[in-house]
Structures are given as C-alpha cells and as structure tokens.
A and B are shown apart, each in its own frame.
Chain A
Amino acid sequence: MAFESLASRLQSTFDKLRGRGKIDEAIVNEAMREVRLALLEADVNFKVVKQFVARVKERAVGQDVLKSLTPGQMVIKVVNEELTELMGGNVSKLAVSNRPPTVIMMAGLQGAGKTTTTGKLAKLLQKQNRKPLLVACDIYRPAAIKQLQVLGQQLNAPVFSLGDQVSPVEIAKQAIQHAKEEHLDYVILDTAGRLHIDEALMEELQQVREVAKPDEILLVVDAMTGQDAVNVAESFNEQLELTGVILTKLDGDTRGGAALSVKAVTGKPIKFAAMGEKLDSLEPFHPDRMASRILGMGDVLSLIEKAQENVDMDKAKEMERQMRQGEFTFDMFLDSMQQMRQLGPLEDLLAMMPGMNKMKGMKDLKVDEKQLARTEAIVKSMTAEERANPDLMSSSRRKRIALGSGTTIQEVNRFIKQFDDMKKMMKQFTGMTDKMKKKSKKKGGFLPFKGKPPVDPFGGMGGADGKKNGGMNFPFNPFK
C-alpha cells in the first residue's frame, strides 16, 4: 500500500463506482480521501494536507471532474497542478550583494547535512566563476571544523576557522573581514546543528545574523523529515527570517512530503535539492517533479535529463541507423548496455519510471546488477568476429565462451536465445516505429524517447510500452 501510486488508487476508486451510473459528491469525497492518504504517507504535515485537500476538492467539483470520462485523471491533474503551484516556481538563484562579499548563512537541525551542503554550494558557486569562502562556525560538534577543511581541500576553496574556542559571532565577523581583504565574493557560514527549541543556540544564530547581515539565510532540511518538519521550519523562520530552503538526501527513496510542509508554513522558496554523496550533486529544485514524486508518480523528466547528459548521441545515432537496416550484433548490445549503465543503478532508473511502482511485485524487485555483469562477461568473452556476426555461434564456441566468462554453458545458451528473440522483435519494431513516426508527425505527438533510442531499458518487455516509445534499441530485459 505504501508505495502504490495515487494514480492507480484513484483509478480503482473510480472503477469501483463506475457501475453505479450516477456519480455524486460522495465519490469526490472518496477520491479526496485517497489524495489525503497519499499525501500523509508521503509525510506531508496533516494540517497542510487538510488545507490542500479542501482546495483541490473545490476545484475538482468546479471543474466538471464528474462529467469527465476519466475523472481519475482529472483529479490527478488538479492535484498535480495545485501541488506544483504550492511549491512555487523555479527559484534556484542565489542572492548577489551589490557590496561584496555576499554572505550566505546555513542553518538547520543536527544531521540535516549543513556542512556537506556548504561544500556543495561552494562547488556550485565555483562553477559560476565565483570565489567562495567557507567559514567554520560549528564549534560544538567534534571534528566539524576538520570536516569543512577537508571539503575545502577537495574543492580547492579557502576555509576560514578560528578553532573551537572562539564564539561563532566573532568568527563570522572576522571571516567577512578576511573575505573583503582577499577579494572573495561569497562567504558561506556553516553553523552548528541545533534544535529549534534550544533558546540559547537560537539566540546565538540571531547574533550571528546581526553581525554578518547575511543576504541569504538558508534552512537545510532533511527530505526524510516527518510531521515535525512544520515545527522546525516555522520556528527557524520566525527567529531568523529565512530566505530559502535546501532539501537534502533526496537521492533516498523518501517521498519527501516535508518539502510541501516547509513551503506551506514558511512561504519561502525551496532553492536547491541535494541529490547524492558527491560534491556536485546539488541541483536546482523542480517543483513539478517534486509534485510527481510526492504523489508517487515517477519522474520522467529527470530520467530524460539523465539520459541526455550521459548518452553518447553520435554512437546512439549510428546504432539506430544500423538497427534500421535490421542489423543487431553483440557489439551493439554491449554498447547499449554500457550506455544504460552509465545512467546509474537500474533501480534508480526504475524508480523514475512512471507506473513502475504500480506493477505487481515491482516494489520488492531488486535488479540484479551482478546478472548484468555476468551478461557483460559473456559478451566480452566472444571474439571480435563472433560479436560482429552472431550467427557464428557453434556449440564449441559456446563452450569456450562459458569457460572464458566463468559462467555455464546453459547460461550462455539462455543469453544467446534471449539475444535472438530480441533481434526478431527488433525487426518487427523497426518496421512499426517507422509507421509510428509518420503517424506522430501528422499528429504532432510527443515521443519522449525519439532520437535517443538506447535509453529505453524495457524494450525487451514488448507490449504497448514498447510501441509507444519509438526506437527500440535496447531490448535486453533484465527481469527474465
């Protein structure tokens, strides 16, 4: 239940009631209950949920949802729009002070990821040819200063520290002076994590604010935070007047309802999202994608973007051309597999596919990366000749390949059979996609994967999905 997407739940609600002929407000209420549950499961604060559902309901009734042939779709559309709107537009810009240095102050609970995010923010600024100074204002947690220094080293950015015996207020003051002297244009103050109800420490933050007069005060929030996110955000905002929020640990599998809660109670924009362990994993926040994520509806846009970043377009085009001629060799197979693997762990990709979480057994499915590696080993144990000409495979060759790849002959046989199946399927599809393309041109339809064929990891599954997605160049099915 937990990971069932809102879409499928709404659908089943409306399906249940379809036979009744008359659709009335009771059904809307039923649908709203599903919306509410989905949001609560995603950790959106219950007060925020309440207001939100009331607004959606109003719109849903007004917008002729009931007369629509697909009321479930309509409700989702409304929910999605409202969510996106509530989470604000794209505002990933940082303030720039007209009298440098621009001062950014980081604040948040313990363990939200302030120090790491400070490093990531510095990296982002460096990419924009800015010169950030990292300031170690966390004098409480053991080795926090050292942590910032290590990050500074990795980034090749200066770190300002006065040890852990000087008050953060003094550190901030001197750091800004230092930045002026050294002509550094950004100062990022990494403060200690603190509870929003710790009066002494909150008072200290206020003092730092007085002295440093930061242009940005960013609250760092763990995306996994539950109902309490509201209290934390409200309290920090009241005492510090935040200018924005950074959401961390979004690369986890949390739905991240905290984002909505925080935005709703503070009204401050979520500027960035931290998406990984590496220092360059700070990304602009996309409200629309977050909306889909909270609703458990996948994140196609991020998937496409990822593909664009990682896929070698020339290679892909060449492969597409070959495939259109009905060619498919082990070399091509290997290429497409490697390209796909560059996109990251398969499971991450799966999580981004809409509807994947709806499929039976999908949520427990563990894509066996090892199996992929074995397949790779099999292909790599073939001679160049064999790879270019799949028809060569005699039984003695198969035996040799099994030995060379550390697999069994059965595995090799199975793989080759799969490969042959793919090849057949591909011939059918290439014919079909040509027709599809002509059609879609007429209709002006949008084929999300048109032109970058190797990103479709599920080609081998065939069926309606495959037809929809145009070029079928990666038909290897890891789930067999």
Chain B
Amino acid sequence: MSFFKKLRETIVKKSEEVTQKFTDGLSKTRDLLVEKVDDLVRRYKKIDEDFFEELEEILIAADVGVNTVMELVDELRSEVRKRKIENALDLQPVLSEKLVELLKNNEDQNCKLNIEEGRLNIILFVGVNGVGKTTTIGKMAHMFKQEGRKVLLAAGDTFRAAAIEQLEVWGDRVGVDVVKHQQGADPAAVIFDAVQAAKSRKVDVLLCDTAGRLQNKVNLMEELNKVFRVLQREVPDAPHEVILVLDATTGQNAMAQAKAFGKSAGVTGIVLTKLDGTAKGGIVIAIRNELDIPVKYVGLGEKMDDLQPFDPEQFVHALFAGLIAKESEEAEEDSEGTSQSDFEQK
C-alpha cells in the first residue's frame, strides 16, 4: 500500500510543480509589465506620441495582437483629448478602465470541455504543423483516463511520416486503444472507422488526431472539412468539441489560423501549447476579442500530466495586472487570491 501512496504523492508533487511553473512564468511577465508601465508613467510627465508608442510596444511585446493594442491605444488617445488629461500619472486609471473592459468580454465564456456522461463524446483536434496536436491528444487521453472514462484514439494524421506511430506510443503510455489505417490512407475513412469502433466498444471519449496543415492550403482544408462532415453525419451533434491547437510562440498568424480553421472545422476551443517557454501567447486575447473562441487548456511540457485547465481571468490578469491601477487591484486581490488557490487545488 505504501508504494501506491508514494506514487500518488510523487504525482501530486509533480503536478504542483507544474502549476508553480505556470504561475511563476506568468508572474514574471506581470512583474515585468508592472515595472515597465510604472517606469513609463514616471518618465513621461507629459503625454505625447512617444508615450503612446512605448505603451503600444509594451503590449505588443506579449504578442497581444496589433489590432487589439491599436484599438486600446486609440481609445486612450480620444479619452485623453476628451478629458483633457496632460499628466501621464492621471492616465493610469483610464488605462486600467480600458483593460478591465478587455477582461469583461471574457467573463461569460465557458472553458470547460463539452463532455457529457452517457454518450459518445467526440473531440476533433486541428491545427497547423508542429503545434503539438498529437502530444496534446496523449495528454488529454491521460486526463480522461484518470477521470475513469473509456477513451479511444483515432490516428487521423495519415500524412506525416511516423505520425501514426507517435500516437500509438502515446496510446501505449496511457493505456488506451488506437484506431489506425496506413500512412497515406483517407483520414475521413480512419475517422469513420474510429466512430464505428467507439460506438461498438461503448467508449466515453473519442479523440481524433488530424494531420497538421497550413490554413491557406485550400485542398487540405477541404479534406479537414470532409472529416468534420463525416463526424457530423455519423453521430448527431458531433463533434462535441473541435480543438484548435495553437503554439504559444506563434505571432499574428494565429489569428488567421483561428479564422480559417473556424470556417472549415467549426473550432469550439483552443489548447495553447508550449507555454512553458518564454512566449506568452498573448494573441489568444485578440482571438478571444475578435472571434470569441475560448482557450480551454494549456500545455506546459512534454509529460503526460503537463496539461492544465485554463483560467482566462487569471491569464489576462497575469498579463495586465501591472497596468491596472493600484485601487482596482486591491479590490480584485481577494477574488484573485481565491481563484489562485482554486487553480492550485486542481
């Protein structure tokens, strides 16, 4: 028994470490932003173009998205004119106001996966090449397995060399079956077979891998659309989730990806991967603002349990807390504190 206890403990400890890594990483960003903005406000006594320019740069450095930043700064400009603000220090409350608005859009968004008991849940994974679709599927399979669900994987990446083997290795690690064809087979056929198998084996969750594809390749996007249609036809209201896997290091192009994949595969959520690096994936804020697609999970490493549920408020707070004026920060501190501990419990 003690062996199992030990095992449990190490697992718990590990995931705590991961959570720590996540919050550490974000707090680093936050500190940096606090410092930069404080410094900015102090240095500029008068508000001029250079001031705005520097503010833009601070925001853009997090890949927040040029449009989102420009809109924000333009609004600030007109506020400055309207309220006749001259001192940079006086601008800070206005700035926080705007940033809080940015947060508000996100409050009602659901970050849980649409998984229901007593039915076959189908999740389709899409994205460009090399963002970590297969790895994310492995991690998610592990997560569902831990929750006691019966999981099946569909090896829909029939294009890239050894992609099927890669998914099989994950299947072995996690202990779930993989439905596969040969390399070069029609992905829609693989998915069709997987759905049939999932039905007859009474599986709870079917995770469908697809080949990475650049969103401007019309033919490949058509192929993806076919996979999507097959799922729709075989199971009513499937796929229950279409997850766009996004690499946190990606810049403005992530917006184009979200748009294109949204169009041909009806993306319902995003998994932001590789957030354990120095990139912060700020572009998801722009995607959220413009396209209303929520981030559901974040990937923080290459191990099985390196997948964490995403807390949007926390994310935006972490990115922008420094820009939010002291007063409002105090008010939010309690709520942030609780959400933080919630997060750690998970």
Contact = CB atoms under 8 A, between A and B. Distances in A.
A116 B161 CA distance: 9
Sort chain B's interface into a size bin. Answer: 35 or more
Given A140-B302, A252-B216, A228 B169 contact: no
Given A37-B66, A109-B277, A110-B130, A225 B218 contact: no
Given A147-B160, A154-B161, A222-B247, A1 B166 contact: no
A227 B251 contact: yes
Contact of A249 (B128, B160, B252): B128
Contacts of A154: 161
Contacts of B70: 37
A156 to B, nearest CB: 14
Interface stretch (B54-62, B139-147, B328-336): B54-62
A225 B252 contact: no
A252 B128 contact: yes
A226 B216 contact: no
Interface stretch (A253-261, A298-306, A332-340): A253-261
Contact of B130 (A42, A112, A347, A366): A112
A46 B61 contact: yes
A151 B161 contact: yes
A423 B205 CA distance: 59
Contact of A143 (B169, B274, B283): B169
B125 interface: no
Contacts of A231: 278-279
A456 interface: no
B128 A226 contact: no
B170 interface: yes
A225 B281 CA distance: 10
A335 to B, nearest CB: 23
A224 interface: yes
Contacts of B215: 252-253
Contacts of A196: 277-278
Contacts of B62: 227
A141 to B, nearest CB: 7
Interface in A81-109: 109
A369 interface: yes
A253 B257 CA distance: 9
Interface in A118-157: 119, 140-144, 146-151, 154
Nearest to B280: A228
A110 B249 CA distance: 10
B61 to A, nearest CB: 5
A7 interface: no
Interface residues of A, number: 57
Given A40-B66, A226-B283, A143 B165 contact: yes
Nearest to A192: B302
A41 to B, nearest CB: 5
B98 to A, nearest CB: 19
B12 interface: no
A154 B159 CA distance: 13
Nearest to B219: A345
A50 interface: yes
A197 interface: yes
B63 interface: yes
A25 to B, nearest CB: 12
Interface string B233-276: 00000000000000111111111100000000000000000101
Interface in B41-78: 49, 53, 57, 60-63, 66-67, 70
B214 A147 contact: no
A339 to B, nearest CB: 19
Interface string A163-199: 0000000000000000000000000000000011100
B162 interface: yes
A229 B63 CA distance: 11
A146 B252 contact: no
Given A1-B67, A232-B249, 4 more contacts: A116-B160, A142-B170, A229-B249, A345-B219
Interface of B: 49, 53, 57, 60-63, 66-67, 70, 128-132, 138, 159-163, 165-166, 168-170, 173, 183, 214-219, 247-256, 274, 276-280, 283, 302
18 contacts: A36-B53, A40-B66, A110-B302, A119-B161, A142-B138, A146-B162, A147-B165, A196-B278, A227-B62, A227-B251, A229-B249, A231-B278, A232-B278, A249-B214, A251-B214, A253-B256, A347-B216, A366-B218
